[in-house]
Amino acid sequence: MPQLLVTVGSQSGLHARPASLFVRAAARQSVKVGVGRPGQTPVDARSLLSVLALAAGHGDTLELTADGEETAARAALDELAALLADDLDADPVRPPRCTASASAAAARPGRSPGPPRPPRCRRPARSPTWPPRAPPFAPPSPPSSRTWRPAPPGPAAPPRTCSPPRR
């Protein structure tokens, strides 16, 4: 069973976002991977709550273990160790907001390519009554059979009497 010691590289430790990325990567592996503090029983690396319960901070050392074929286990441990050693809190590279391709628009038949244009995002046109407005007042709702009504008058129940306390 291969084991590997790794130092947590995320500046704020292994909190929700880095732990989620780690758990997703562990779930993709073909072998069962465990993670824990050195000398303690490892927890399943595919369980987000178990990984969060480790409360690993920046610079803490964790031990990764893998059960399965030796080469697959080593590859899984290397991938997860690299993930834990990286600063997963750094700003990720964000994709552009619009996925429209300017080159696809320029490649339409019968049109000259011309200078490249930035991609345009198309938003739905708003109607003149957007957002929909509620009427100024709501008409009264008709009575329903489920509405509460007081009980009809009937014979009065006899008054309750309390017996003296027992001693």
pLDDT, position 124: 59
Read off the pLDDT of each residue in 91-120 and give the average, rounded to a whole number: 57
Using the Cα atoms of residue 84, residue 89, residue 90 and residue 91 in order, give the sign of their dihedral: positive
Residue type, 147: T
> What's the pLDDT band for 84 if we cut at 50, 70, 90?
very high
Identify the pLDDT of residue 73. 94
Q: Mean of the per-residue pLDDT values for the chain?
A: 78
Whether residue 102 has pLDDT greater than 60: no
Catalytic one among 4, 12, 13, 15?
15
Query: Quick check: is 15 catalytic?
Result: yes
Give residue-wise pLDDT tens across range 122-158.
665 655 555 566 656 666 666 666 666 666 677 766 6
Q: What is the pLDDT of residues 46-82, one digit of tens each?
A: 999 999 999 999 999 999 999 999 999 999 999 999 9
Cα–Cα distance for residue pair 128/131, rounded to 1 Å = 8
* Per-residue tokens: 87: 């600063």
> Prior bond to 113 cis, omega within 30?
no
Residue 97 pLDDT > 60, yes or no? no
Digit-coded pLDDT (tens) for 26-51: 999 999 999 999 999 999 999 999 99
Helix, strand, coil shares, percent, the chain, to 5? 25, 10, 65
Residue 84 or 110, more confident: 84
> What is the rounded CA–CA span in Å between residue 80 and residue 19?
11
Report how far apart the first and last C-alpha atoms of the chain are (Å, whole number).
73
Mean per-residue pLDDT, 89-112: 55
CA pair distance 159, 162, nearest whole angstrom: 10
Question: Could you give the domains of the chain?
Answer: 3-85 (3.30.1340.10)
CB 37 within 8 A of CB 70: no
Q: Rounded to the nearest 5 degrees, what angle is found at the Cα of 117, between the Cα atoms of 113 and 118? A: 150
Q: What is the pTM of this model?
A: 0.55
Q: Rounded to the nearest 5°, which phi and psi values hold at 78? A: -65, -45
Q: For position 70, what pLDDT does the model report?
A: 92
